[in-house]
Amino acid sequence: MQQENQRRRVVVTGLGAVCSLGLDVNELWRRLLAGHSGTCLISRFDTNDLPSKVAAEIKNFNALDYLDRKEIRRIDLSHQYVLVAASQAFADSELMKKGFTPERAGAIIGHQSGGITSMLGQYDTYLSQGYRRLSPFLVAMMFTDMAPGLLSIKFNLKAANYAISSACASSANALCDAFRIIKSDEADIMVAGGTDAPIVPFAIAGFSAIRAISARNDQPEKASKPFDKDRDGFVLGEGSAVLILEELGHAQRRGARIYAEMIGYGMSADAYHISAPDPEGSGAALAMKAALQNAGIGPNEVDYINSHGTATLIGDPAETKAIKKVFGDYAYRIPINASKSALGHLLGAAGAIEAVITVLSIINNKIHPTINLETPDPECDLDYCANRLTEKEINIAISNSFGFGGHNAAIVFAKYQQ
């Protein structure tokens, strides 16, 4: 049975995304390739008392375009995002046309901040008006697990259903678990991804207090500068991304379009610090090595790396060192980019949206530019596709996600071959 399970292959058959660069996957991809920035001055609330005034806000999102008014009142903004992204992924996969066995389909969603928007708003209501004015849906709005729960209800998913919270690696971990569940024959379909809506004054203040986010308020569109010598922290972003992972035979029997194959993953822990990464990149290197081993490939077979690339002072050199530990001299020949330069940092959704981007890169043989990389850092001396679109045959790619607390995940995708 174990050998039989090892032969089960996991493919990507649906993609969905909502973020600052677009309200769907096509717009996201078009603007990434064009080198657009999704960061701007915060418009959602007064930032006069905050040192950082920039974020990657989603513009022109109207929940009523996707959800009914009654549903919107009962869920957090982060839940709205994931319902929209998942609906896009389901439509893209055409799963609903021929139907599927609910007991063989599940959902795992990475979510770092929970329903922070609703929780803080309701806390203000509690302080000013008392508990009788609180929404009866407050608890459901707050809970991290409600994101996959809502997907389970909406799409009738009765297999594994849970949330993962491992900071910025949350949705990458969700994809790893979903992959393992399909490989072990516990399900044929897994809806996996992440969501977060953390752009609130309290979060901006908290990240500012530890000097983790950029305060480049005079040039908001250039605030996110991964691997640049003048970087000063990440830009907080928001949104959701969802992938439909499916067992190959199941996808073939229903005539599904197959985007790419997920062939392996690796996870590790820095065991170093609550927020800072191991400056030598040892934990990140362990995750990438484990991913290569799990995928059954060698370092020189990797054609592209979508980096974690946050633009933090310690994180970028640490990831650079980690890549060198794993790939040696070949590291200098691998094109690497940082999607956060354009999207900001989506926290719990970062790994998922970067997985979507990695899959799109494989399909199109295109690597979007790392924008805003203007002054090279001597410590970051690899090829980061600085401000240039790179066209290259991509057969195998890695997507990296590293989170506060030392959580590391690396995912390997490959061009689908029968």
Active site positions, annotated: 168, 308, 345
DSSP secondary structure, 252-268, as one string? HHTT----EEEEEEEEE
What percentage of the chain's residues is helix, strand, coil (to nearest 5)?
Answer: 40, 20, 40
CA distances from 70 to 75, 106, 374 (A): 9, 25, 47
CA–CA separation, 36 and 34 (whole Å): 6
Q: Long-range contacts: 375-381, Cβ < 8 Å, 24+?
A: 375/228, 375/229, 375/230, 376/227, 376/228, 376/229, 377/227, 377/228, 377/229, 377/231, 377/316, 377/317, 378/229, 379/316, 379/317, 379/320, 380/227, 380/316, 380/317, 380/320, 381/320, 381/332
Q: Which of 380, 399, 415 is nearest to 173 (CA)?
A: 399
Q: How many CB atoms lie within 10 A of CB 334?
A: 18
Q: Which helix (H) or strand (E) holds 213?
A: none
Of 240, 264, 253, 189, residue with least CA distance to 12: 189
Q: Which two structure tokens, joined as six digits, stand for 150?
A: 């809502």
**Which H helix or E strand runs over 414?**
strand 407-414
Tokens standing for residue 264: 């392996």
Q: Encoding tokens for residue 71?
A: 């549903």
Would the CA dihedral through 325, 327, 333, 337 be positive or negative?
negative
d(CA 399, CA 288): 9
- Cβ–Cβ under 8 Å, residues 189 and 246: yes
How many other C-beta atoms are found inside a 10 Å radius of the C-beta of residue 242?
Answer: 36
Contact between 276 and 307 (Cβ < 8 Å):
no
- Quote the DSSP letter at residue 367: E
CA separation for the pair 88, 14 (Å, rounded): 8
